[in-house]
Amino acid sequence: MSENEPLQWMDIEDLEKDIPSENWQSLGETIRRVNERIAADLDRNRRREAADFADIQNLVVGNEVTR
């Protein structure tokens, strides 16, 4: 791009026109594997939130005068 040339908008097709279709490879399996591996973590995060919520019921905080 020359210094004085104004920027031209490019659609996604313009951006990818030089990438041959056979060069594209799928990441679908990666995403599936990752989601499988983290499913238990996400469930644990939800359970923890519920336990914390029970822990804090009626706990009064923020009443301290320290100086």
The verdict on 28 binding other proteins (CB under 8 A) reads: yes
Least distance (Å) between residue 17 CB and other proteins: 11
Instruction: Please report, as a single letter, which amino acid is at residue 38.
Output: I
| Residue 7 CB contacts under 8 Å (≥ 6 apart), including other chains | 1
Residue 57 Cα to chain centre, angstroms: 31
43 touching other proteins, by CB under 8 A: yes
DSSP state of 6: P
Is 23 among the residues that bind other proteins (CB under 8 A)? yes
Using CB under 8 A, list all residues that contact other proteins.
Answer: 1, 3, 7, 10-12, 15-16, 19, 21, 23-28, 30-31, 33-35, 37-39, 41-43, 45, 48-49, 51-53, 55-67
